[in-house]
């Protein structure tokens, strides 16, 4: 086989067979296909697309390019949750302990944040001493002992995706449904879960700004997951405003703790109940989503989910007292309120701008190598639909650097669109995408 011929075949709009796709992925991962040929191939895929069979083959080839976690040592059905990324998305920190407290094993490999979206691993490092690197044995024994482990992805999980993603990033080929879906799903399938619940975000803070694109991506990922023999479902959810109020690592962890303690924002807890219900059903805890919700509500009410978070922190070397004494989280030197310049109703919040506020303050990474400041970020005081008076605070900024603060404040004020007519927020949960089709929630 010659890479030249395969580039030509895809460029001319023909379908590649399974062996050809596997050849491209394994030879590129091994360094036998140069970046310039792979770039040309990715551009051909970008323009000519891949059908469902090709996309599944591509995903399986990338999954098989490295280690596949063997979770068979963990008792029960393992269900993973994946979010396509958003601003203020601290769902895993709430949902993981809730589901584990219901007796379902949570064996989660998570990532770090890049750009305006945060990563669960960075957030967990806000707990003093928390170790995000666990050996496979320790990861498995923690899940068996306390039902939950959350660790960073091992270096050799889907290495083809790492290499290809870096190339897509610099060749304007990120934005293609087959390439995005195979990239995400290759890592999920290598993470070894039996079933997958996907949270596909749509709106101004999401990768997929348009609802129809989010649905197409969800359909592709659901088709890959089920095609690979894993029970997979996707929920399309709103990212047209941040989830909850807090954006920034330690600030989000505190909000997650408040939520587990029964005092969280309505949108965050609702999303956790919906995703959690699908996870409990997929794990075989119950066949009825309403029953699953009752189980989840109970573990929040009786604090067993909150205590589960403390167990998780302790099992990974962290100081669990932070869960009960949140004032222990590191605080920045500057806390500044931002008053509204207008009176009216919040009509829109540009969510990627809110992510950028946290990034400017040092809470996110511009590049993979950037150091982040866990203590900084923003807590919104108003969300879409809220009434606001001139001079009333719309947000609080947490910073360590005065120069960055004024830039962040301007970006924040820009993100808010205030009008005189009452406005209404988008529904939080929009669509459910399963193997039998798409339905309104």
Instruction: Quote the least distance from Cβ 172 to ligand URA, whole Å.
Output: 13
Interface with ligand URA includes 184 (CB under 6 A)? Answer: yes
Active site residue 183: yes
Task: Render the burial of 275-287: b for 16+ CB within 10 Å, e for the rest.
Answer: bbbbbbbbbebbe
The least CB distance from residue 114 to ligand URA, in Å, is: 9
CB nearer to ligand URA: give 183 or 204: 183
180 binds ligand URA (CB under 6 A): yes
In the range 193-222, which residues lie near ligand URA by CB under 6 A?
207
Among 83, 152, 183, 340, binds ligand URA (CB under 6 A): 183
Q: Which is nearer to ligand URA, 174 or 334 (CB)?
A: 174
Can you read off the two tokens belonging to residue 394? 């719309």
Sequence-distant (6+) residues with CB within 8 A of 342 are 388, 390, 418
- Contact, 422 vs 382, CB < 8 A? no
CB of 164 to ligand URA, least distance (A): 9
Q: Which of 64, 80, 122, 161 is catalytic?
A: 161
Length of the chain: 441
Among 110, 152, 183, 352, the active-site one is 183
Segment near ligand URA (CB under 6 A); pick from 9-17, 174-182, 257-265, 426-434: 174-182
Q: Is 187 a catalytic residue?
A: yes
Is 109 a binding residue for ligand URA by CB under 6 A? The answer is: no
Element at 60 (helix H, strand E) = helix 52-63
Q: Is 82 a catalytic residue?
A: yes
Show the site string, 134-173: x = touches ligand URA by CB under 6 A, - = not. -------------------------------x--------
Phi, psi of 178 (to 5 degrees): -60, -40
Read off φ and ψ for residue 256, nearest 5 degrees: -65, -40
Alpha helices in 171-303, H assignment, sequence order = 177-190, 211-227, 249-260, 266-282, 289-301
Q: How large is the C-alpha radius of gyration of the chain?
A: 22
Q: List helix spans (H) across 132-248.
A: 136-146, 159-170, 177-190, 211-227
Residue 336 CB, nearest distance to ligand URA (Å)?
33
Site for ligand URA in 119-138 (CB under 6 A): none
Q: How far is CA 365 from CA 117, 119, 148, 209, 370, in A?
A: 9, 10, 27, 21, 5
Which residues of the shown chain bind ligand URA in the complex (CB under 6 A)?
A: 165, 174, 179-180, 183-184, 207
Indicate which residues carry an active-site annotation.
82, 161, 168, 183, 187
């Amino acid at each position: 086989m010659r890479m030249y011929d395969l580039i030509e075949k895809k460029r001319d709009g023909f379908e590649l067979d399974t062996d050809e796709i596997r050849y491209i992925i394994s030879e590129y991962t091994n360094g036998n296909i140069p970046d310039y040929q792979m770039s040309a191939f990715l551009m051909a895929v970008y323009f000519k697309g891949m059908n469902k069979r090709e996309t599944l083959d591509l995903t399986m080839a990338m999954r098989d390019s490295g280690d596949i976690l063997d979770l068979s040592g963990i008792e029960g059905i393992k269900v993973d949750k994946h979010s396509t990324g958003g601003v203020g998305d601290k769902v895993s920190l709430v949902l993981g302990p809730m589901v584990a407290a219901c007796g379902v094993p949570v064996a989660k490999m998570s990532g770090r944040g890049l750009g305006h979206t945060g990563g669960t691993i960075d957030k967990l490092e806000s707990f003093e001493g928390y170790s995000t690197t666990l050996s496979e044995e320790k990861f498995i024994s923690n899940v068996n002992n306390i039902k939950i482990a959350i660790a960073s992805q091992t270096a050799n999980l889907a290495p083809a995706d790492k290499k290809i993603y870096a190339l897509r990033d610099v060749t304007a080929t990120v934005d293609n449904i087959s390439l995005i879906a195979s990239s995400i799903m290759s890592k999920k399938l290598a993470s070894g879960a039996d079933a997958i619940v996907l949270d596909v975000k749509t709106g101004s803070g999401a990768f997929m700004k348009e609802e129809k694109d989010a649905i197409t991506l969800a359909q592709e990922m659901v088709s890959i997951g089920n095609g690979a023999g894993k029970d997979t479902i996707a929920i399309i959810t709103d990212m047209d405003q941040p989830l909850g109020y807090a954006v920034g690592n330690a600030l989000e962890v505190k909000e997650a703790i408040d939520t587990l303690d029964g005092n969280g924002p309505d949108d965050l807890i609702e999303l956790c109940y919906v995703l959690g219900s699908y996870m409990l059903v997929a794990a075989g805890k119950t066949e009825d989503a309403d029953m699953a919700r009752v189980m989840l509500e109970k573990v929040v009410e009786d604090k067993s989910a909150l205590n589960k978070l403390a167990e998780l922190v302790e099992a990974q070397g962290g100081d669990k007292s932070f869960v009960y004494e949140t004032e222990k989280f590191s605080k920045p030197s500057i806390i500044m309120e931002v008053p509204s310049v207008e009176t009216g109703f919040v009509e829109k919040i540009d969510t990627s701008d809110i992510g950028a506020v946290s990034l400017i303050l040092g809470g996110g990474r511009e590049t993979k190598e950037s150091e982040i400041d866990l203590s900084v970020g923003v807590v919104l005081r108003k969300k879409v639909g809220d009434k606001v008076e001139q001079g009333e605070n719309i947000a609080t900024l947490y910073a360590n650097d005065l120069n960055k603060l004024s830039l962040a404040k301007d970006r924040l004020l820009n993100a808010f669109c205030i009008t005189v007519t009452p406005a209404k927020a988008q529904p939080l949960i929009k669509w459910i995408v399963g193997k039998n089709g798409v339905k309104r929630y």
